[in-house]
Amino acid sequence: MSGSGLLAWCNGTFVPAETLAIPYYDLGVVAGAAVTEMARTYSHRPFQLDRHVDRLVSSLQSLGFPCNYKTNEWIDAAVQLVEHNAKSFLANDELGIVLFSTAGANPTYLGGPSELVTSAIHTFRLPFELWRPSLTAGAKLSIPAMRQICSESLPVQHKVRNRLHWWLADRQAAQMEPGSRALLLNHQNMVTETSTSSFHAVIDGEIVTSGRDVLRSLSSQVAEELAASLGIPFHRRALSVSELKNASEAFLSSTPTGLIPVASINRAPVGNTCPGPIFQSLHQAWSTQIGEAIPHE
């Protein structure tokens, strides 16, 4: 891997990033049939990369997708890619690390079965400037008419590329309140998650997040582990909309942004302060875990 340009990894080979492409006949394009992961760096070092790759490989196997690379091969390729591409970024920039693998080729387009699969890794600069308003003032959420797809219809616990309902939901949320993102309910009218983050409410001093019809979120698992270290109760259970009025605070978790406080839901403020004390404790614990201060103000 030589040269100063950004590279990507595709089917076992490092290639110039601008040449990375998915063929038109790939089921990742035709049907959104692709499993994906997104990790990130702190100080240009991958964070929790092994857990992301474990989830990627586990999801490929669970869904019956071809799994052409072992866990260590994915990790080695990602580490090498970050080491090379980080040289093209400023010291205070951080990289998003996207890994994905598709279900293969559409036999209709190719006139028969094919073993062609696209497995790839690429990086990009994390655009913190886009997230800063939410990091500093709290996220605004709206509950749209669009519902979360139930786990019996789509395995939402796996991180897949089929996300049309999220795109539509976020458009509805922006129409309800400009600048807000969608917080989806399932078909039992229980709170699930947002398009990019897990949702957590703090009710009577306990953190509550949905245990059904949501992604098997690694950032939420980190939040749960940090809460345990701080002695804060954490529960995964059904969460009704009516309970949200009793929430003293709420927050989102995702790999690229870490923790983000929630300022309002359907224009109604959450709690009396944003960010709240439990968020601030978790945020500090997250900073301690990675060994550097993460600003949120």
pLDDT category of residue 82 using cuts at 50, 70 and 90: very high
pLDDT category of residue 1 using cuts at 50, 70 and 90: very low
- pLDDT over 90 (residue 102): yes
Q: Give me the chain's average pLDDT, please.
A: 94
The model's pLDDT over 11-54, given as tens digits with 9 standing for 90+, comes to 999 999 999 999 999 999 999 999 999 999 999 999 999 999 99
Least confident of 6-10, 15-19, 151-155, 166-170: 151-155
pLDDT of residue 63: 95
- pLDDT over 70 (residue 3): no
Q: pTM for this one? A: 0.92
Topology agreement, domain 7-126 and domain 131-290: no
User: Residues 259-284: what's their mean pLDDT?
Assistant: 95
pLDDT of residue 292: 65
153 Cβ contact list (under 8 Å, min separation 6): none
Q: Which fold has domain 131-290?
A: D-amino Acid Aminotransferase; Chain A, domain 2 (3.20.10)
pLDDT category of residue 4 using cuts at 50, 70 and 90: low
Q: Which fold has domain 7-126?
A: D-amino Acid Aminotransferase; Chain A, domain 1 (3.30.470)
User: Residues 63-69: what's their mean pLDDT?
Assistant: 95
pLDDT category of residue 189 using cuts at 50, 70 and 90: very high
pLDDT of residue 152: 85
pLDDT category of residue 112 using cuts at 50, 70 and 90: confident
Domain boundaries, the chain: 7-126, 131-290
